[in-house]
Structure 1
Amino acid sequence: MNFPLFFEIQGHRYYLHIIFEVLAFFIGVRYYYFLKRNYKDNISNINRLWIMLGAMIGALIGSRLIAAFEIKDFLQSVSFLEFYNNKTVLGGFLGGLFGVEGIKKLIGEKESSGDLYVLPIILALFIGRIGCFSMGIAEPTFGVETDFFLGINLGDGKLRHPIMLYEMGFLAVLFVFFKKLLQKEFRNYKNGDAFIIFMLFYFTFRFLMEFLKPRYEIFLGLTIIQWCGIFIYIYYWKFFRRICNK
């Protein structure tokens, strides 16, 4: 397999990555509305729209800001266009989280809103990672060189950890897990807990995967992605206190 994967139409080259990015967004949104039809939602439709707007704006900003800290000497070497084009999903989650919480305070919405988004997010992530894999080393999601039997030549002639495939496998397991968790007979948790558990699982996975990637350590031997993982555990300290006191 030759990376990156593309096709040509009338002499123009089109990378599969952009196609899977569009598919991820479209299918994720459609799946959200499919689930919403059978979901007893305590949040009004207009507030849901405001929440989604806050999530999108927050994700747009957060994905770029966190990605900037993955680049050494960013302020001295990166143009605004490069800053905008460089993004990370994990930063999008973090920015989206703050965007949602900010909007909810503005509109006075106190209900937890995240559970309904968990399965669509996982599905969209899975589809998007197919696009990342199709780019090989042209997308900064590849791993370091390895002798591990799962090592793959991603376009530079070296066997590397296919981080994108690892994440797709992880997401498939998460999808099955949350599919069961979100069924009515398993709803013994507090509203909003599913989203918190997803965030903790995903940020933990990304924290560990950073050790298998080329890395730029910003502080104490950890990358910005790993510091975001630590932050999310601190952010949800009330969740840990509640489950520990049960």
Structure 2
Amino acid sequence: MSPHVISYFLTIRAILFGIKVNMHLVLEYLAFFVGFRYYLYLRKRTTDAISTNNRLSIIIGAIFGALFFSRLMAFLENPPLHYSQGIISLLNNKTIMGGLFGGLLGVELVKKVIGEKQSSGDLFTLPIIVGIIIGRLGCFLAGTKEFTFGKETNFYFGMDLGDGLSRHPIALYEIVFLLGLFFLIQQLQKSRQPLKNGSHFKIFMIGYFSFRFMLEFLKPNSYFLFGLSSIQYLCLLCLLYYYKSIGEAIRYAYKKLYLL
């Protein structure tokens, strides 16, 4: 994409009808709104095995878990920098990766407290993906003003994101991946041989966190611990959390290949 096109996108981000607008923030709120409306739409069209009260408790647990971990992981991306910027930086900075894993832990904690045994993630899966896609569009429009841009590159897909350098547009890479994941899970939901309850959410989490682990190598991270960023450690922690499901998937794939 030419620098002129990128400049046009950044202009859209800055000025709308003569008024300065933070399109990243607008799309972030839009992501929450659309994602939640999509969830309500899907819940009306499906038979939810979880009661309304328990579902509400689960949503509250997810919100609080996501709020805490999204800030924590954003801080751990570069602790010296965020610490020097004070409490405002701690409150403003957040990351979707921490939000997802924190939401997962919040849900599991609430389910333990209320005694809910049913898997609750499948109904949230597609709305979460749609929300992230909208949010990542905002990240792309933010250019280099948000830490969602890639390293300098001579790769064909390199773009000038506002600082005059050709960089990996990792927000766009992520959007493409999420679109593919969305249609995959959507097809699995329509399959005549449905997967076990909760499997769709697990596929999303394992797939997305695996993708983000690799994508982090394309970001200009400046804070590492033993060569990995905090987000990459979180990705490994999430994959460890789902190690049983990963093992089952590997054994299933091996059996299919063996039969061939």
| TM above 0.5 | yes
- Aligned pairs for 1:54-203 within 5 A: 54-74=61-81, 76-183=83-190, 185-187=192-194, 189-203=195-209
Is the aligned partner of 1:6 residue 2:28? no
Q: What is the one-letter code of the residue matched to 2:21?
A: Y
Change (3 A) 1:244 1:209: closer
In the alignment, which residue of structure 2 is the partner of 1:211? 217
User: What is the CA–CA distance in structure 2 between the aligned matches of 1:100 and 1:214, rounded to whole Å?
Assistant: 33
**2:30 alignment partner, SS class:** helix
Is the aligned partner of 1:26 residue 2:47? no
User: What is the CA–CA distance in structure 1 between the aligned matches of 2:153 and 2:235, rounded to whole Å?
Assistant: 25
Q: What is the one-letter code of the residue matched to 2:35?
A: G
**1:182 alignment partner, SS class:** helix
165-174 vs 236-245, greater mean Cα deviation: 236-245
Q: Percent identity?
A: 45
**1:157 alignment partner, SS class:** coil
Aligned-residue CA RMSD (Å): 1.6
218-227 vs 69-78, greater mean Cα deviation: 69-78
C-alpha deviation, 1:74, in angstroms: 4.6
Aligned length: 244
Q: By percentage of residues, which structure has more helix?
A: 2
Check the 8 A contact 1:200/1:232 in 2, yes or no.
Answer: yes
User: What is the CA–CA distance in structure 2 between the aligned matches of 1:51 and 1:20, rounded to whole Å?
Assistant: 25
In the alignment, which residue of structure 1 is the partner of 2:238? 232
TM-score of the pair, normalised by structure 2: 0.89
Q: What is the one-letter code of the residue matched to 1:7?
A: I
Check the 8 A contact 2:64/2:103 in 1, yes or no.
Answer: yes
User: What is the CA–CA distance in structure 1 between the aligned matches of 2:193 and 2:161, rounded to whole Å?
Assistant: 41
**1:118 alignment partner, SS class:** helix
C-alpha deviation, 1:77, in angstroms: 1.0
Check the 8 A contact 2:136/2:171 in 1, yes or no.
Answer: yes
User: What is the CA–CA distance in structure 2 between the aligned matches of 1:8 and 1:167, rounded to whole Å?
Assistant: 26
User: What is the CA–CA distance in structure 2 between the aligned matches of 1:205 and 1:83, rounded to whole Å?
Assistant: 26
Q: Which runs of 5+ in 1 are unaligned?
A: none
User: What is the CA–CA distance in structure 1 between the aligned matches of 2:182 and 2:44, rounded to whole Å?
Assistant: 19
Give a deviation string over 1:71-92, Cα, whole Å, max 9, x none: 1415741311111101000010
Structure 1 segments of 4+ aligned residues over 4 angstroms from their partners: none
Q: What is the one-letter code of the residue matched to 2:216?
A: E
Change (3 A) 1:20 1:111: same
